């Protein structure tokens, strides 16, 4: 089956203008659509069961044949295939090196109660005002890889569906249920109703990670890059957990710290 790519040569094209508008979180929230950039993340989008509205490739994109093969194998229908110049493609997304391919996908939505009740014995990742999309994407990627059952992004955390976060996560949003803009009081009330323990990552105090009981289903909260977890969570959490650093460094990047804690939780479950 031959796939038809529509050739578009003008930035004034209505479809391209719609895609470009999704660089803004307000437009993503209003439309429910988001941009996926980069070969690996786009492959995840095509292979998922999420609604795929557009696939846009640069004229010189070298892996179009492979993408077409994935489209032919896709069980769900897909939208329009657009071909543009490399210059036009760079204007559509947020990253400076888009790898010649992007997709537009409709978000899936979960309720917080659904995510808290997801099957499995892995933890739920909670992000409290984490600002860098690269950190958010990396944490979602690690959480998906190490068996977390979902992620809760509290109010004030950057958008998991920004193209930078999706690309940093290599498309982890297609594998890990994510809820966003959750109020701390709401999460705290519901997790107590479900008797879910909550551990807060800390620089010091609490227990070293290897002494904390991370085998049982729990929530693991990571705070803002500069400030850590808010005072609310420091008071409400069931305990704090820290990563021993005998090498003398004062702190780790939040994505690295989260990765180590998620790995420790997986190690304890598997042991």
Q: Give pLDDT, residue 1.
A: 73
H or E element, residue 222: strand 218-222
Q: Give pLDDT, residue 250.
A: 74
- 181-to-87, 154, 246, 257 alpha-carbon distances in Å: 34, 5, 36, 23
Q: Give pLDDT, residue 87.
A: 93
Residue pair 170/44 in contact (Cβ under 8 Å)? The answer is: yes
Question: Do the domain assignments include residue 1?
Answer: no
Q: Same structural domain for residues 102 and 124?
A: no
Average pLDDT of each block of 10 consecutive residues along the chain (271 residues)? 92 96 97 96 97 97 95 96 95 84 97 96 97 98 98 98 95 97 98 96 90 95 95 96 87 94 97 90
* Domain limit, last residue, from 106, 138, 164: 106
* Domain limit, last residue, from 60, 83, 106: 106
Number of independent structural domains in the chain? 2
**Shortest CA distance to 35 belongs to which of 108, 97, 99, 94?**
94
Domain that holds residue 38: 6-106
Angle in degrees, 0-180, between the axes of helices 64-73 and 39-47, rounded to the nearest 10: 10
Q: Give pLDDT, residue 269.
A: 96
Q: Same structural domain for residues 95 and 171?
A: no
The predicted model scores a pTM of 0.95
Question: Do the domain assignments include residue 260?
Answer: yes
112 φ/ψ angles, rounded to the nearest 5 degrees: -55, -40
Q: Give pLDDT, residue 125.
A: 98
DSSP secondary structure code for residue 110 in this structure:
-
Distance CA 25, CA 185 (A): 24
């Amino acid at each position: 089956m031959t796939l038809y790519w529509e050739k578009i040569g003008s930035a004034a094209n209505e479809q391209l203008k719609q895609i470009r508008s999704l660089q803004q979180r307000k437009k993503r929230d209003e439309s429910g659509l988001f941009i996926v950039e980069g070969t690996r993340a786009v492959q995840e989008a095509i292979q998922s069961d999420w609604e795929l509205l557009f696939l846009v490739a640069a004229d010189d994109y070298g892996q179009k044949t492979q993408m077409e093969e994935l489209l032919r194998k896709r069980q769900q229908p897909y939208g329009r295939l657009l071909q543009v110049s490399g210059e036009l493609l760079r204007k559509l997304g947020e990253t400076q090196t888009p790898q010649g391919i992007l997709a537009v996908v409709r978000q899936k939505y979960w309720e917080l109660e659904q995510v808290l009740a997801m099957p499995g014995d892995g933890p739920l990742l909670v992000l409290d005002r984490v600002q860098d999309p690269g950190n958010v994407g990396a944490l979602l990627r690690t959480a998906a890889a190490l068996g977390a059952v979902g992620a809760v992004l509290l109010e004030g955390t950057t958008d998991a569906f920004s193209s930078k976060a999706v690309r940093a996560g290599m498309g982890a949003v297609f594998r890990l249920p994510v809820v966003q803009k959750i109020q701390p009081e709401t999460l705290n009330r519901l997790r107590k109703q479900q008797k879910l323990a909550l551990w807060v990552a800390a620089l010091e105090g609490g227990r070293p990670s290897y002494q904390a009981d991370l085998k049982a289903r729990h929530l693991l909260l990571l705070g803002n890059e500069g400030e850590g977890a808010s005072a609310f969570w420091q008071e409400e959490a069931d305990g704090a957990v820290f990563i021993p650093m005998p090498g003398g460094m004062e702190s780790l990047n939040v994505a690295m710290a989260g990765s180590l804690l998620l790995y420790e939780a997986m190690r304890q479950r598997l042991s």
